[in-house]
Chains A and B, each alone.
Chain A
């Protein structure tokens, strides 16, 4: 599981990188001024990756941005300096872990303002919503990419304590029986993934989650032999897969939970499914997660901003941002990332 496979960096890793550009990484409000030391090794990897693709990385907070207009045109200032949409772009990766929750609105509206002001952002704000609620991948039809893990999404405000409950038929109707996995809808890293053996345990857990008004998802437990396969895609094309397996009786195989992992070539069947999902999102970089148990597999969720496990992978990721930004500049910096669609009659 831990043996590394060589990754083809691709010949175009070395092209059109003559002009230095800046990527402003809008960090969590909770570490933008005082980075969490636990991220130190990862950030060192990222620094090396940025250096290899000739992109200057600057960390900022949403508070470092002022958005206005100059001569009737949109203008964005970072640290009081005007930023040129032809020379800089923004990494807009919404953090929705609990300590970032109060900031979600400020971040989303800032991403939207940057898009509207004609700047390239790596994750458009509507995609951020999609990315951070596990149910949304499940509900969207990704051009027949495959079956999704049965999921029920529950808001827990007032659960139990204020008489809120879910009818007992809802889980069976979704094909979910006990034991069932229950976890926050907008967290990641395998944190707080709980296996509820019974309705009573599920109720107790939802009641505790209600203390923070958390939205939770309930899914079937697919067994301890299930592996989580993350397929990384660049420009819609799968290029490598990270297999993650729970160890020591853990429920989740995420690396943050001590799971065993290894990079392997993408199997054809999952590559085809991942390609369909990636085509819908149309982002320079994303990963598509599958759960695989023997010959069976389920589409789990899309992770638009999945972390990169090593320097070469990070370099591929950040170079995809750089190249998409270059395309954006070529096609006109006033091109919008979002638009109103579908509502007009």
Chain B
């Protein structure tokens, strides 16, 4: 099938939803879902929310075969939105989701967020450690696991904080959450110890960072095909620590500050994704840090244009994928071979 042929029927995007809401969407998401539906109609896409267990992967004489709810889907007619959820309610399902994404990739289907990227996306320290962040000022971060946390674990954490030149007060938060949930400012070692001790109840991995103050603005740079597109500025309100909208932060949509354009582009191009968000913390025009990448950064209810660009980028990349040949997977071991 050629790229032109692929436009004969509207492509279907199967959105693999959280196992915890795949059959009964959370009513809190209704407004954003209504905006998504409008955009999908506008783009000429068919979107079906599904669960991982709606997918059966097998094969037929002509190669790998993927079935969704018992119906075979073809890689030139459909693709999958593979946005890993790492909220506490989704924790049990992570392995199942990651391997489903990998199976879809290996079967020759286009996925919006490959397995490899999902891991980078959902552990906050990985942005700072990654090659694409080299040369950019990053927020110093220490990552600690908390299973069996005790006084010796605190000692090891303090050793690493000292080595990283992180002083109190510090931010301590889960390594794989988002939206500003669970962000705590520890004024001293006693408070840090208490938070880490509590986190061990769920064996959470936590990150510790310097507290940069309430005057810092969190700038999310939306990038489409590696190019900075627009920004969402977020600032904490009142006594809140995080400026995320989920925490009642004040938001402002706008153009990308000039000083952030090149850093965002560098990160986005390295990721090679149709859509990616790059988060920065800014204390002044020339005083900024790379915070993290949010490959699947959610859309803002008031931002129809960026959201349309987001889903339009998935569609365009899918069409390019079809044009190149559906056997061209998203990852390849061969290209990583050093031997």
Residues of A within 8 A of B (CB): 29, 33, 61-70, 74-75, 77, 79-80, 82, 96, 101-106, 108-110, 112-113, 116-117, 125-127, 129-130, 132-133, 135-136, 138-141, 150-159, 164-167, 170-171, 173-175, 185-186, 213, 215, 235-236, 279-282, 331, 335-345
Other-chain residue from B99, B270, B328, B333 in contact with A280 (beta carbon distance below 8 A)? B333
Q: Are A343 and B114 touching (Cβ within 8 A)? A: yes
| Interface status of B30 (Cβ within 8 A of chain A) | no
Quick one: which of B117-172 are within 8 Å of A by CB? 117, 119-120, 122-123, 125-126, 128-132, 138, 140-149, 152-153, 155-157, 159-161, 163-164, 166
Contacts of B65 in A (CB 8 A): 170, 173-174
CA distance A343 to B56 in the complex (A): 25
Q: Are A153 and B91 touching (Cβ within 8 A)? A: no
Residue of A nearest to B64 (CB): A139
Quick one: which of B192-208 are within 8 Å of A by CB? 203, 205
Cβ of B202 to closest chain A Cβ, rounded Å = 10
Other-chain residue from A63, A140, A158 in contact with B153 (beta carbon distance below 8 A)? A63
Q: Are A126 and B115 touching (Cβ within 8 A)? A: yes
Cβ of B61 to closest chain A Cβ, rounded Å = 8
3 nearest interchain CB pairs?
A343-B272, A344-B272, A116-B129
| Interface status of B191 (Cβ within 8 A of chain A) | no
| Interface status of B261 (Cβ within 8 A of chain A) | no
Mark the stretch among B32-40, B47-55, B241-249, B279-287 that contacts chain A. B47-55
| Interface status of B96 (Cβ within 8 A of chain A) | yes
Contacts of B164 in A (CB 8 A): 68-70, 75
CA distance A266 to B58 in the complex (A): 30
Chain B residues touching A, range: 35 or more
| Interface status of B250 (Cβ within 8 A of chain A) | no
Contacts of A167 in B (CB 8 A): 67, 70-71
User: With A67-B142, A336-B131, A341-B332 in contact, is A158–B53 under 8 Å at CB?
Assistant: yes
The A contact surface, by secondary structure, is mixed
Interface contacts beyond A117-B129, A136-B106, A173-B65: sample of 14 additional A-B pairs, CB < 8 Å, sorted by A:
A66-B157, A70-B163, A70-B164, A108-B119, A110-B145, A139-B106, A139-B107, A151-B59, A154-B56, A157-B53, A174-B58, A174-B65, A213-B92, A342-B332
Other-chain residue from A69, A136, A140, A341 in contact with B128 (beta carbon distance below 8 A)? A69
The B contact surface, by secondary structure, is mixed
Q: Are A101 and B163 touching (Cβ within 8 A)? A: no
Contacts of A105 in B (CB 8 A): 86, 91, 94-95, 176
| Interface status of B302 (Cβ within 8 A of chain A) | no
Q: Are A125 and B119 touching (Cβ within 8 A)? A: yes
Contacts of B142 in A (CB 8 A): 66-69
Other-chain residue from B58, B128, B159 in contact with A151 (beta carbon distance below 8 A)? B58
Other-chain residue from B126, B160, B328 in contact with A112 (beta carbon distance below 8 A)? B126
Q: Are A68 and B161 touching (Cβ within 8 A)? A: yes
Residues of B within 8 A of A (CB): 19, 51-61, 64-65, 67, 70-71, 86, 91-96, 98-100, 102-103, 106-107, 114-117, 119-120, 122-123, 125-126, 128-132, 138, 140-149, 152-153, 155-157, 159-161, 163-164, 166, 175-176, 203, 205, 225-226, 269-273, 317, 320, 327-339
CA distance A170 to B57 in the complex (A): 9
Residue of B nearest to A62 (CB): B145
Residue of B nearest to A168 (CB): B70
Other-chain residue from A79, A135, A173, A340 in contact with B103 (beta carbon distance below 8 A)? A135
CA distance A175 to B53 in the complex (A): 22
Contacts of B335 in A (CB 8 A): 341-342
Cβ of A173 to closest chain B Cβ, rounded Å = 5
Residue of A nearest to B158 (CB): A80
User: With A109-B119, A174-B59, A342-B329 in contact, is A68–B147 under 8 Å at CB?
Assistant: no
Q: Are A66 and B320 touching (Cβ within 8 A)? A: no
Q: Are B103 and A139 touching (Cβ within 8 A)? A: yes
Contacts of A65 in B (CB 8 A): 145
Contacts of A155 in B (CB 8 A): 52-53, 55-56, 96, 100
15 contacts between A and B (CB under 8 A): A67-B125, A67-B129, A77-B163, A106-B203, A112-B126, A155-B53, A166-B56, A173-B58, A213-B92, A280-B334, A336-B131, A341-B336, A342-B335, A344-B269, A345-B317
